[in-house]
Structure 1
Amino acid sequence: MTQPLRWLQDEIADRMLQKLDIVKLDVKDILVVPDFAGKHLDTLAQRYPKARIFSITEKGVSGFQMWRTKAMSNWRSAFSSNASPLASYTSSGRFDIPDNSVDLVFSDLLLQDLPDPKHFLQECWRVLREGGLITFSYLGPDTGKELRALELPDVKLKNLLSPWDMHDMGDALLGGRFSDPVMDMEYLTLDYEKPALLLADMSALKLIHSIPPRAIEKEVLSQKITLEIVYGHAWALGKHLAKAKDNIAYFDANQIVRKTRSDSA
């Protein structure tokens, strides 16, 4: 996501936080990926005033921007929060934080840009504590469908890197050992007065490769774009269990405790 669509990140983050209103969770540590200097930080600070935040910052967001925003949001840990760039994760495939270290993973409009969302879910499982929650949003496969319906020789369209619908993601969560996944979806329509503005947003959403000058004046372009927004959350439960194989769950022998007579007395 790039600067022209910061408002969209803020809007979707706000909707994600509203969906968390009914969730009861004791939060001491939060991982925000990707993190940006948006309004969501103030809401998170008010909801979880004692929480520490781990930031995986997107491209173009400086450490000073994040520090200033967190300080203005009254983050208790603004001076000691852990931060690393998203580029570090995309190159290494690993968050720079320990196993079982956060209670909440908050991911806003990222998964559609990852080549392997399943690996992302595995990393979230690794860093979540027992009973922790992952909550996320991403662009679904119907995003920008108006452009794909047109013949635009001057505009080279791109597909989302991971065009998953909510059923694909629900299956991936269950396959990644998450429990009780809840998926939801909505369509947002963006209306435009000028083709140049529409193309600029499509470039920011990574739906086109480039914007040729001739394309900006084309009247054939749609005046609106549909965004499919997919939301989901799931719980990290049973992390002490070995991974199931062939629908059979295997327990570590050390977890089996023999009941003695004194226990039953």
Structure 2
Amino acid sequence: MDPVAAARWHHAAPAPSPWLHEEVARRMEGRLQWIRQPPASWCHWDPVRGGLQAHALLRQRYPDALCHVYETTPAHQATAQEALTPPWWSAARWKGGATQFGPPPEGAVQMLWANMALHMHSQPQELLAQWHRTLGVDGYLMFSCLGPDTLRELRTLYAALGWPSPSHQYTDMHDWGDMLVHTGFAEPVMDMERITLTFASPQRLLQELRELGRNLHPQRFAALRGRGWHGQLLEQITQRLAVPSEDGQLALTFEIIYGHAFKPAPRVRVASESAVSLQDMRAMLRGSTPS
């Protein structure tokens, strides 16, 4: 994807959490029932776009855990603080379930929650490495993102008309698993599902897409489109995306990828000389057993 366009979108994205983001977060939160050990502290990464309503679900699940809210978009920091600061009379403000804003210290959390952020980042492996550093040993990552089948109907439409792709390419879940292992995570579990959204009009469909993101493809159309092209787009969407079984509603597919992985205890590479950070040494000592 175009890194300049990705950075521009990251700083200019609208503050409300899109409906699809909230729905995906709700489904991902349901998967936490399989986690036996609740985290003593966790980090909600970019909650304004990832799901402010979902934050309440996570708070209900882990009421006594310390929550680090880290909003990486400067324009959204005030929104996050206003929406997620517990009221002064709330017991969570004074007890173990407090909320802290800003980046957590390295190795400080047992769970990092990142919903629908990875597919819009131009350097995803750097972001995975940052998440890995934030987690403590045996901590786990929960994330979701869009997969390559997303907008397949719109991609087919654009290709048939000879237009450049309507969006950048999305990464396959198996490649995400490989990147997790390469970053240092262990036991990655990847899953996916397809969600079909229907719309009453092409205008409403395009509005939804504008709220979800932007086309970050490096070879996207570089100039402004005219009214004639826009009218043709609306006409083609109406003709090609209508589903008779849905009373003529317009359908779009979104492939949702869910990822889960642990941060294992660090290992020292065998060499004539080896350097180990103080943090890694402490982690290895905590995990060692007496002989």
C-alpha change, 1:123 and 1:181, in structure 2 (3 Å) is same
Q: 1:29 aligns with which of 41, 45, 49?
A: 41
C-alpha change, 1:65 and 1:75, in structure 2 (3 Å) is farther
What corresponds to 1:43 in structure 2?
57
What corresponds to 1:242 in structure 2?
268
The within-5 A match list for 1:123-142 is 123-142=130-149
C-alpha change, 1:4 and 1:32, in structure 2 (3 Å) is closer
1:49 maps to amino acid? P
What corresponds to 2:167 in structure 1?
158
Q: 1:168 aligns with which of 146, 167, 175?
A: 175
What is the aligned length?
239
8 A Cα contact 1:155 1:211, kept in partner = no
Report % sequence identity. Answer: 26
Q: Distance in 2 between matches of 1:108 and 1:211?
A: 32
8 A Cα contact 2:43 2:104, kept in partner = no
Q: Distance in 1 between matches of 2:143 and 2:193?
A: 14
SS at match of 1:98: coil
1:232 equivalenced with 2:259 (yes/no): yes
What corresponds to 1:81 in structure 2?
99
Tell me the CA shift for residue 55 of structure 1.
1.7
Q: Distance in 2 between matches of 1:75 and 1:145?
A: 47
8 A Cα contact 2:184 2:263, kept in partner = yes
2:210 maps to amino acid? S
Q: TM-score, normalised by structure 1?
A: 0.77
C-alpha change, 1:233 and 1:158, in structure 2 (3 Å) is same
C-alpha change, 1:52 and 1:67, in structure 2 (3 Å) is farther
User: What 5-or-longer segments of structure 1 have no aligned partner?
Assistant: 85-95, 257-262
What corresponds to 1:106 in structure 2?
113
SS at match of 1:167: helix
Tell me the CA shift for residue 25 of structure 1.
2.3
Q: Which runs of 4+ in 1 moved over 6 A?
A: 153-156
Q: Distance in 1 between matches of 2:91 and 2:133?
A: 25
Tell me the CA shift for residue 127 of structure 1.
1.1
Structure with the largest fraction of helix: 2
Q: TM-score, normalised by structure 2?
A: 0.71
Tell me the CA shift for residue 80 of structure 1.
6.5
Q: Distance in 2 between matches of 1:108 and 1:61?
A: 16
SS at match of 2:148: coil
Tell me the CA shift for residue 65 of structure 1.
4.9
2:168 maps to amino acid? N
Coordinate RMSD, CA, aligned: 3.3
Q: 2:205 aligns with which of 175, 198, 201?
A: 198
SS at match of 2:46: strand
C-alpha change, 1:243 and 1:57, in structure 2 (3 Å) is farther
CA shift digits 1:88-130 (9 cap, x unpaired): xxxxxxxx33211111000100000011211111111111111
